[in-house]
Structure 1
Amino acid sequence: MRRIVGWGWRVTDVRAATEKLHAELHGLGVTSAYEIGDDATLSVWIGLVVRYRDGFYRWQEGAVKRRHLGTDPVGCAMRVARRHAELQASVPLWWNDLAKELRGNPVQEYP
């Protein structure tokens, strides 16, 4: 696929960057992350997503947004994996409301 996206990033570049980050996260023990179907976005945990765009990994947790150079999937994976572990250790107050909204009321355990 050679279609041009955004500021000249090819879809194959976006997919490769996303796959590299996914592999690094998996290596760090974050095995629940999955690509959502657009080749650019990984859902790491409910409310924690990482999107590759314009040469940066842009990750968001609720309203908090961060970015990391796209040339450093290892460093980005380390930051995201650390935050993932923190979230699982101390589930934020907003999580239950978001989980109910996304999954419906019968949420019994976190992912």
Structure 2
Amino acid sequence: MSEFAAAAEAIDRLRAELTGLGVTGVHEIGNDGTLSVWIGLVVRFRDGFYRWQEGQVKRRHLGTDPEGCAIRVARRYAELQSDVPSWWEELAKILRGDVAEDYP
């Protein structure tokens, strides 16, 4: 299996786990197996690891454990959701209209 195919499969498994945990609105960015989860919170799969970044903070999790990774990412997502930046709602309306309310 090619590196690209492995990354795509790993990202699909992670997305399914995140959806099961109630993290909706996750979408893939580009063709390199990158998921956008929330404002500045992205997850990539590379070299057998899920790697996620939020600003300067970088984390990684074994690629053989999408469930464990999803739990950690979902926990951080919930923390971020509890303190949405005040500028987010206005920016979302300007950039995408009212349909973007739930998605950062």
Normalised to the residue count of structure 1, the TM-score between the two structures is 0.75
Find the aligned partners of 2:16 and 2:37 in 1 and give their Cα distance.
12
> Does the alignment pair 1:66 with 2:59?
yes
Structure 1 moving runs of 4+ over 2 Å: 105-111
Asked if the contact 2:35/2:43 (under 8 Å) is kept, the reply is yes
RMSD over aligned Cα atoms:
2.5
Pair 1:54–1:96, CA change in 2 (3 A): farther
After TM superposition, the structure 1 = structure 2 runs for residues 2-41 of structure 1, keeping only pairs within 5 Å, are 4=2, 10-41=3-34
Q: Of 94, 98, 103, which aligns to 1:106?
A: 94
Asked if the contact 1:34/1:44 (under 8 Å) is kept, the reply is yes
Normalised to the residue count of structure 2, the TM-score between the two structures is 0.80
Find the aligned partners of 1:80 and 1:96 in 2 and give their Cα distance.
23
In the alignment, structure 1 segments of 5+ residues that lack a partner are 5-9
After TM superposition, the structure 1 = structure 2 runs for residues 66-105 of structure 1, keeping only pairs within 5 Å, are 66-91=59-84, 96=87
Asked if the contact 1:22/1:33 (under 8 Å) is kept, the reply is yes
Query: 1:31-89 deviations in whole A, cap 9, x for unaligned?
Result: 11111131411000120000000000000011111000001000000000010010010
Asked if the contact 1:33/1:43 (under 8 Å) is kept, the reply is yes
Structure with more helix by fraction? 2
In the alignment, structure 2 segments of 5+ residues that lack a partner are none
